[in-house]
């Protein structure tokens, strides 16, 4: 089969949500529809318990499970679907952001009781950065949620995206009767089922049909009014607008009851993009090119303590990847071949002979890879846009065992390469700061340093508010800034200069004092301008 037809068969996406909205439940139901799992409960373990004090065994288990379920492949209606898992715990948000660079679209789950939550907004910001197409699933309609029109308004306002309902709830909570499919014009009556994989739809050509009243009783009038309003207020669904990330089709349902999901899956198959090109420092790479290329977006330490090897997750961006063929590691300028690349199906990891654009493969790594690394068939380009985001918590690393300095150095280096946290190094002296989005990472780092590197450290909290990458056209101002703020300027993992602002106020004053300097909260803007090194 040609590369083009392999591409046309594939869809690679992620499900994202604020914790507890129902991402894991929806994932499981989609796998059930796709035949990748037979029973509910198989994916359920894949999250760290949401307790305040973390249970390390649970983290270890999570790391193990998440390698196996990081990419779940299944077939649906002759399409090969790659569903990339994203960690549910907010402290691992950065892992989620990186995973989003490897997908072509997302399904965003919203809890109808809670509406748009903080993590939802941040995830959408990341989607907007590369115009990722978004489908919204409003979940938990069996609970007393907010008015659906209010929810749509909130989505548009807080997520800055136009919406178009594709299905519509009939009642909500105690009065929830089912959903009306605005595209296929049928009614799916609500019944609770955890395992059912097909629904019985009742076709309704005309909403004034008396059958509607028989089926829905008092809710029928409301449905008629709602549908009239929807057609008057919302623009028709346009695939182009969806594909460019401007318009989100919205579905309503109840994941735990396996309800309203099939409608979404049908439309997902129709609408969602096939693997798209990716931007490199030498322009966009067409996925249908003959030559293979791909990038590493995630690195996972193997949980087997007897083996130090790691698994690098690579998204194939163009051409055909083949086992045992030499490829170029662009950053290291060396050739590497892979004798046991794996694909990740929901059930187990399996050896693969080849892979195509949109696929994610696992490469055993003995320390060659960093997140963001590019592999090619000889070309010298590098994929762009694997962002580092400003951490929220900063701590200085204190070595608790001076005899193990080397181990500590190596451990910190490797763990931050894996993306567990960000490392910032003082330009003078030897101070190291770790930046994370959550407290949990510090515990994970301490635990892993001890168990995997035999090193121990403690952390000294630092009062920093944001890490800011900076750019400027004004050389003179830049030099003065670097000189006067030298105590607060550190190096990131790629040796870019980063300003650590202590408070929002300090950042504002700094901006006022240095108007020609632009401060950025992610390293993503590399695409437009050059970072200061
Ligand atoms: P997450 O991955 O986004 O964090 O959410 P997850 O799927 O774990 O769902 C969070 C909770 O919401 C779970 O309950 C789940 O059963 C429940 N849930 C998911 N979909 C629906 C729905 O449509 N209606 C209702 N009423 N609840 C739903 P839990 O108590 O945390 O876990 P469990 O004991 O049920 O497994």
> How far is the centre of ligand 1, averaged over its atoms, from the C-alpha of 21 (Å)?
7
Mark which of 345, 376, 407 sits at the end of a domain: 376
Query: Tell me, what's the pLDDT at 489?
Result: 95
DSSP code string of 473-513: S-HHHHHHHHHHTGGGEEE-TTS-EEEEESSHHHHHHHHHH
Domain that holds residue 341: 278-376
Cα 89–chain centre separation: 12
32 and 105 fall within a common domain: yes
Mark which of 271, 300, 324 sits at the end of a domain: 271
Sign of CA dihedral 460, 466, 471, 472: negative
Residue 58, pLDDT above cutoff 80: no
Domain total for the chain? 3
CB 399 within 8 A of CB 432: no
Structure-derived torsion over alpha carbons of residues 173, 179, 180, 182, reported in degrees to the nearest 10: 110
Residue 470, pLDDT above cutoff 80: yes
Mark which of 241, 271, 301 sits at the end of a domain: 271
Residue 35, pLDDT above cutoff 80: no
Residue with tokens 């550190």: 490
In a mutational test of the pocket of ligand 1, which residue from 142, 255, 259, 264 has the highest number of ligand atoms less than 8 Å from its CB?
Answer: 255
Residue with tokens 């009939």: 170
Residue 428, pLDDT above cutoff 90: no
CB 386 within 8 A of CB 373: no
428 and 294 fall within a common domain: no
Q: Indicate which CATH number applies to the domain containing 245.
A: 3.40.50.300
Q: Indicate which CATH number applies to the domain containing 460.
A: 3.30.70.3280
Instruction: Read off φ and ψ for residue 364, nearest 5 degrees.
Output: -70, 135
Q: Which two tokens stand for residue 193?
A: 């089922």
Could you give the CA distance from residue 321 to residue 327 in angstroms, rounded to a whole number?
A: 9
Helices (DSSP H) in 292-423: which residue ranges? Answer: 405-417
Query: Tell me, what's the pLDDT at 365?
Result: 86
Sign of CA dihedral 135, 141, 146, 148: positive
Convert the pLDDT of each residue in 117-174 to its tens digit: 988 998 898 898 889 999 999 999 999 999 999 999 999 999 999 999 999 999 888 8
19 and 160 fall within a common domain: yes
386 occurs within a structural domain: no
Edge-to-edge strands, sheet with 186-189: 167-170, 178-181, 186-189, 201-203
Of all protein residues, the one whose alpha carbon is nearest to atom 6 of ligand 1 is 22
Q: Which of 45-59, 256-270, 436-450 has the lowest mean pLDDT?
A: 45-59
E strands, 173-292, where? 178-181, 186-189, 201-203, 247-252, 278-280, 283-285
41 falls in which pLDDT band (50, 70, 90)? low
Nearest Cα neighbor of 467 from 527, 385, 394 is 394
50 falls in which pLDDT band (50, 70, 90)? very low
> How far is the centre of ligand 1, averaged over its atoms, from the C-alpha of 20 (Å)?
6
Question: Quick one: which atom of ligand 1 is closest to the CA of 26?
Answer: 7
E strands, 77-197, where? 79-84, 105-111, 134-139, 162-165, 167-170, 178-181, 186-189
Higher pLDDT, 498 or 342: 498
Q: Which two tokens stand for residue 496?
A: 């870019």
108 and 206 fall within a common domain: yes
- Which range in 18-32, 98-112, 423-437 is most confidently predicted, on average pLDDT? 98-112
Query: Tell me, what's the pLDDT at 529?
Result: 44
Query: Tell me, what's the pLDDT at 368?
Result: 87
Structural Rg of the chain based on CA atoms:
24
CB 438 within 8 A of CB 93: yes
- In degrees, rounded to 5, the angle at the alpha carbon of residue 300 between the alpha carbons of residues 299 and 301 is 125
Strands 293-301 and 374-376, sheet pairing: antiparallel
Of all protein residues, the one whose alpha carbon is nearest to atom 28 of ligand 1 is 256
Q: Which two tokens stand for residue 512?
A: 């006022």
384 occurs within a structural domain: no
Could you give the CA distance from residue 152 to residue 149 in angstroms, rounded to a whole number?
A: 5
Between helix 148-159 and helix 118-129 the angle, nearest 10°, is 50
Query: Tell me, what's the pLDDT at 345?
Result: 55
Q: What is the mean pLDDT of residues 6-23?
A: 93
Q: Which two tokens stand for residue 157?
A: 């306002």
Higher pLDDT, 396 or 97: 396
Query: Tell me, what's the pLDDT at 432?
Result: 93
39 occurs within a structural domain: yes
Could you give the CA distance from residue 337 to residue 504 in angstroms, rounded to a whole number?
A: 48
Of all protein residues, the one whose alpha carbon is nearest to atom 34 of ligand 1 is 44
98 and 171 fall within a common domain: yes
> Does residue 256's CB lie within 6 angstroms of at least one atom of ligand 1?
yes
320 and 418 fall within a common domain: no
Of all protein residues, the one whose alpha carbon is nearest to atom 33 of ligand 1 is 44
CB 108 within 8 A of CB 137: yes
Query: Tell me, what's the pLDDT at 152?
Result: 96
248 falls in which pLDDT band (50, 70, 90)? very high
In angstroms, how far is the first alpha carbon of the chain from the final one? 46
59 occurs within a structural domain: yes
Q: What is the mean pLDDT of residues 367-374?
A: 88
528 falls in which pLDDT band (50, 70, 90)? very low
Higher pLDDT, 120 or 192: 120
> How far is the centre of ligand 1, averaged over its atoms, from the C-alpha of 251 (Å)?
18
> How far is the centre of ligand 1, averaged over its atoms, from the C-alpha of 140 (Å)?
8
517 occurs within a structural domain: yes
49 falls in which pLDDT band (50, 70, 90)? very low
Query: Tell me, what's the pLDDT at 357?
Result: 97
Could you give the CA distance from residue 443 to residue 379 in angstroms, rounded to a whole number?
A: 40
264 and 122 fall within a common domain: yes
> How far is the centre of ligand 1, averaged over its atoms, from the C-alpha of 115 (Å)?
15
382 occurs within a structural domain: no
Task: Work out the mean pLDDT of the chain and round it to a whole number.
Answer: 85
Query: Tell me, what's the pLDDT at 53?
Result: 38
359 and 468 fall within a common domain: no
Residue 342, pLDDT above cutoff 90: no
71 and 218 fall within a common domain: yes
Q: pTM (2 decimals)?
A: 0.84
348 falls in which pLDDT band (50, 70, 90)? low
282 and 265 fall within a common domain: no
> Does residue 145's CB lie within 6 angstroms of at least one atom of ligand 1?
no
Count, residues in the chain: 533
> Does residue 129's CB lie within 6 angstroms of at least one atom of ligand 1?
no
Higher pLDDT, 87 or 189: 189
256 and 126 fall within a common domain: yes
CB 385 within 8 A of CB 130: yes
263 occurs within a structural domain: yes
287 and 253 fall within a common domain: no
Per cent of the chain over pLDDT 70 is 86
Could you give the CA distance from residue 233 to residue 254 in angstroms, rounded to a whole number?
A: 25
Query: Tell me, what's the pLDDT at 266?
Result: 92
54 falls in which pLDDT band (50, 70, 90)? very low
Convert the pLDDT of each residue in 272-317 to its tens digit: 999 999 999 899 999 999 999 999 998 887 556 566 668 899 999 9
Query: Tell me, what's the pLDDT at 187?
Result: 85
Query: Tell me, what's the pLDDT at 66?
Result: 54
Residue with tokens 């990716």: 278
Convert the pLDDT of each residue in 224-246 to its tens digit: 999 999 989 998 999 999 999 99
166 occurs within a structural domain: yes
> Does residue 376's CB lie within 6 angstroms of at least one atom of ligand 1?
no
> Does residue 320's CB lie within 6 angstroms of at least one atom of ligand 1?
no
Q: What is the mean pLDDT of residues 111-118?
A: 94
Cα 263–chain centre separation: 23
Between helix 440-453 and helix 56-68 the angle, nearest 10°, is 80
Convert the pLDDT of each residue in 89-103 to its tens digit: 666 777 888 889 999
């Amino acid at each position: 089969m040609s590369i083009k037809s392999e591409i046309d068969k594939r869809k690679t996406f992620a499900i994202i949500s604020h914790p507890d909205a129902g991402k894991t439940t929806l994932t499981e139901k989609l796998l059930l529809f796709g035949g990748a799992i037979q029973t509910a409960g198989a994916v359920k373990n894949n999250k760290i318990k949401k307790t305040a004090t973390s249970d390390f065994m649970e983290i270890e288990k999570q790391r193990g499970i998440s390698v196996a379920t990081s990419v779940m492949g299944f077939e649906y209606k002759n399409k090969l679907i790659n569903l990339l898992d994203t960690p549910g715990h907010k402290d691992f948000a950065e892992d989620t952001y990186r995973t989003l660079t490897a997908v072509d679209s997302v399904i965003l789950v919203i809890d109808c009781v809670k509406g748009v939550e903080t993590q939802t907004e941040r995830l959408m910001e990341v989607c907007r950065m590369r115009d990722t197409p978004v489908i919204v699933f409003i979940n938990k309609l069996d609970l007393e949620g907010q008015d659906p029109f209010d929810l749509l308004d909130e989505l548009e306002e807080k997520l800055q995206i136009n919406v178009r309902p594709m299905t519509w709830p009939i009642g909500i909570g105690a009065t929830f009767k089912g959903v009306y499919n605005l595209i296929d014009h049928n009614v799916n009556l609500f019944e609770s089922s955890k395992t059912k994989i097909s629904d019985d739809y009742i076709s309704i050509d005309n909403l004034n049909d008396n059958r509607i009243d028989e089926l829905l009783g008092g809710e029928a009038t409301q449905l008629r009014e709602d549908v009239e309003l929807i057609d008057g207020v919302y623009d028709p669904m346009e695939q182009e607008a969806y594909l460019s990330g401007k318009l989100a089709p919205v579905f309503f349902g109840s994941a735990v009851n396996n309800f309203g999901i099939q409608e979404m899956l049908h439309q997902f198959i129709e609408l969602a993009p096939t693997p798209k090109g990716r931007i490199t420092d030498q322009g966009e790479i067409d996925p249908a090119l003959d030559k293979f290329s791909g990038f590493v977006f995630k690195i996972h330490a193997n949980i087997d303590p007897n083996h130090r090897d790691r698994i690098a997750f690579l998204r194939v961006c163009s051409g055909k990847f083949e086992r045992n063929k030499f490829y170029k590691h662009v950053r290291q300028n060396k050739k590497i071949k892979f004798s046991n690349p794996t694909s990740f199906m929901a059930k187990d990891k399996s050896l693969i002979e080849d892979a195509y654009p949109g696929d994610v493969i696992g490469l055993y790594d003995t320390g060659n890879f960093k997140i963001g690394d590019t592999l090619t068939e000889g070309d010298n380009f590098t994929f762009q846009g694997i962002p580092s985001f400003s951490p929220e918590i900063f701590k200085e690393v204190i070595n608790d065992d001076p005899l193990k300095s080397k181990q500590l150095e190596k451990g910190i280096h490797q763990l931050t390469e894996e993306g567990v946290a960000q490392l910032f190094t003082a330009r003078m002296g030897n101070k190291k700061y770790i930046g994370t989005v959550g407290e949990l990472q510090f515990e994970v780092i301490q635990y892993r340093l001890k168990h995997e590197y035999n090193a121990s450290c403690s952390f000294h909290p630092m009062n920093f508010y944001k890490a800011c990458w900076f750019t400027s056209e004004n050389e003179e101002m830049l030099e003065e800034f670097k000189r006067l703020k030298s105590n607060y300027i550190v190096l990131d993992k790629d040796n870019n200069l980063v300003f650590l602002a202590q408070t929002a106020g300090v950042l504002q004053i700094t901006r006022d004092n240095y108007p020609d300097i632009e401060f950025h909260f992610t390293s993503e803007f590399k695409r437009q301008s050059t970072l200061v090194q």
